[in-house]
Structure 1
């Protein structure tokens, strides 16, 4: 089982972010966190890191769909346009149980899984095993 170096959480819900970070620490999931509160903030911060091919790029992104300013879908549409040498695992973590969202997620090659909130320590461990 491989530990993730950097996990990125893109979510506007401070309670979810706090809880997920706590679970990740308890599960020994990753060494560091990046947290962005909407897709625009994430793109504006990740794009220069990707373009410069810096080592501080996340290994895993937990992406919410419903956020203000730029939602998860808009983030994905921008993110896939950025050429990136490193493979970044993206998990959608959302409260949406809409079958259309699930079907839309399957259209993206770089989405590894679609998870319904809340996320448990056990589920994080399963993801870590999949990724490793």
Structure 2
């Protein structure tokens, strides 16, 4: 099974980032794990690698509720980017919210791959990674 080259965890909860990183490392399916505490940091990383598609993330796990630039603001800016034609980035919204308003808001972004409610199990992570390698 091939490894996913780049995964970004965008979440202001350092404990959540730590747990997710542990899951990724134990599964041994990811080469590089990038952690960001707000959407702007992640967006800047992506913008700085637009001309090196191999360094762009294959999978982004994006928290909704973060200070400074939240997940929704990130998505509004992300959809404006001109990604290389051969690069597909899978983005999953992560939240502890099951409110219908958040689910509806997620539907406004057809580029989202899914909506996941925390906590995220190791089995779900495995599914996300094996799905990410197919693109």
TM over 0.5: yes
Give the ranges of 4+ consecutive aligned residues of structure 1 lying more than 6 Å apart after TM superposition. none
- The equivalent residue for 2:97 is 96
SS for the counterpart of 1:55 is helix
Q: Which has the higher contact order (CA 8 A, sep 6+)?
A: 1
Distance (whole Å) between structure 1 residues aligned to residue 32 and residue 3 of structure 2: 11
Q: Is the 8 A contact 1:2 1:128 kept in 2?
A: no
- The equivalent residue for 1:64 is 63
- The equivalent residue for 1:113 is 114
- The equivalent residue for 2:79 is 80
- Counterparts of 1:1-132 in structure 2, within 5 Å, are 1-50=1-50, 52-85=51-84, 86-131=87-132, 132=134
Q: C-alpha deviations, 1:81-115, integer Å up to 9, x for none? A: 00102110001111121111111112212111110
Distance (whole Å) between structure 2 residues aligned to residue 2 and residue 99 of structure 1: 36
Q: Is the 8 A contact 1:9 1:63 kept in 2?
A: yes
SS for the counterpart of 1:8 is strand
SS for the counterpart of 1:84 is coil
Q: CA RMSD in A?
A: 1.4
Q: Is the 8 A contact 1:91 1:114 kept in 2?
A: yes
Q: Is the 8 A contact 1:61 1:91 kept in 2?
A: yes
Number of matched pairs: 131
Unaligned runs of 5+ in 2: none
